[in-house]
Amino acid sequence: MLGEMVCDLRGKITGRRVIPYHEGGMKMEVSTEQTGKVLGVDVMDMTTYETMMKPGGVLFGMGQGMTMGKGGEMGMYYANGVGKMTGKGSGVSFRGALYMMSQSPKWASLNGAALVFEYEADENGNVRIKAWEWK
């Protein structure tokens, strides 16, 4: 069951690069920067993920990121998910799970929690990330 929305972020893709993939396919590394809120705290967030094209056009992605709050809060996270191209240029849509760790008291409830996320990137490099606690 989904709990409360934990984060709502908007930003931009800041970099892309094609990297070798051992199974003979292509792998893309994407970096993004977002701002928004995590548990009500204004944040700046940076994410880097790798995505691989799998049979049937399915994308598999895995990544990591760092979130910094305006009050000195800091957290890091790991995520993985599956996605697809949206059919609009380089736009993608992912769904997956995210695991955040933080020593900040305001975000202590996220330690050991599983979050489910929606990630959307449009053909212009605009990004939207939303995540909910999975109870």
Tokens of 30: 């994407």
> Would you state the structure tokens that stand for residue 23, as one six-digit string?
């199974």
Hey, what domains does the chain have and what are their CATH numbers?
2-134 (2.40.160.20)
* pLDDT of 22 strictly over 80: no
pLDDT in tens, 43-75: 999 999 999 988 888 999 999 999 999 999 999
What would the two tokens of residue 9 be? 């972020």
pTM of the model: 0.92
Alpha helices in the chain (DSSP H): none
Name, in order, each residue with C-beta under 8 angstroms of 7's C-beta and a sequence gap of 6 or more: 36, 37, 38, 39, 43, 67, 115, 129, 130, 131
Per residue in 82-108, pLDDT (tens digit) is: 999 998 788 999 999 999 999 999 999
pLDDT-derived band at 24 (thresholds 50, 70, 90) equals low
In DSSP terms, 47 is beta-bridged to: 32, 65
User: Average pLDDT of the chain?
Assistant: 94
Query: Is the separation of the CB atoms in 26 and 53 below 8 Å?
Result: yes
* pLDDT of 64: 98
